[in-house]
């Protein structure tokens, strides 16, 4: 005999998302991805400790200009996401739509900066351990920015169509949570990939 477990979702509040399974799911996904980033950055230092020279002789650390611009643009996109969330809380649909659209635009600009930076890498991913870990960490975060842009573009379309209300904003809340992670995790990546080889 098959047993089914049924959950009455009608009692789950969409205004207090911490009561909703999707909120916990996004929180779990962020925790997993943060652990992956921590593992990659730990691997960076492990490989550096095993190498005679880090970066290898004849290899310069990546240029600072483009990642430094990203370091300013991504937090700015988090500010517009926060502003959008405030609009969503208050039922100001236009503020929500403008905020998430601005965030998509800023993150797209950050992606352009990252793309230029990657194109300027003078090493391949398969040349040595330094190249491999540099490309792995860069590619991992690049993918996160792309996924954040795609997800938030969907939220922006729905916001412009008036889908979200103060009672129906779970999508905004979980998207904002993921956005903060993607923007915030770039700081340790920036310090490790672009400053550590210059200071250590």
**CA separation, residue 157 to residues 135, 172, 180 (Å):** 33, 12, 20
pTM of the predicted protein model: 0.86
Domains and CATH numbers, the chain: 64-199 (1.20.120.80)
**Measured distance CA(172)–CA(47) in Å, rounded:** 40
**Exposure of 39 by Cβ count < 10 A (0-12 exposed, 13-18 middle, 19+ buried)?**
exposed
pLDDT in the model for residue 166: 81
* Bridge partners, 168 (sequence order): 165
pLDDT at 56 over 60: yes
What is the band of 59 on the pLDDT scale with cuts at 50, 70, 90? very high
* Bridge partners, 60 (sequence order): none
CB 41 within 8 A of CB 137: yes
pLDDT in the model for residue 64: 96
Find the distance separating the first CA and the last CA of the chain, reported in whole Å.
Answer: 64
Residue of 79, 69, 70, 68 lying closest to 102 (CA atoms): 79
């Amino acid at each position: 005999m098959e047993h089914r477990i049924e959950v009455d979702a009608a009692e789950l509040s969409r205004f207090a998302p911490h009561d909703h399974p999707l909120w916990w799911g996004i929180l779990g996904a962020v925790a997993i991805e943060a652990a992956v980033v921590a593992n990659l950055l730990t691997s960076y230092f492990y490989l550096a400790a095993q190498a005679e020279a880090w970066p290898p002789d004849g290899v310069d650390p990546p240029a600072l200009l483009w990642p430094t611009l990203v370091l300013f643009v991504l937090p700015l996109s988090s500010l517009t996401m926060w502003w959008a969330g405030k609009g969503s809380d208050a039922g100001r649909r236009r503020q929500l739509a403008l905020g998430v659209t601005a965030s998509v635009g800023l993150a797209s600009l950050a992606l352009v900066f990252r793309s230029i930076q990657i194109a300027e890498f003078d090493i391949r991913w398969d040349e040595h351990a330094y190249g491999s870990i540099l490309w792995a960490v860069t590619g991992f975060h690049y993918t996160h920015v792309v996924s954040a842009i795609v997800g938030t573009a969907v939220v922006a379309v729905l916001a412009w169509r008036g889908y979200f209300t103060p009672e129906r904003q779970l999508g905004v809340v979980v998207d904002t949570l993921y956005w903060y992670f993607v923007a915030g995790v770039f700081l340790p990546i920036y310090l490790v990939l672009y400053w550590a080889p210059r200071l250590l």
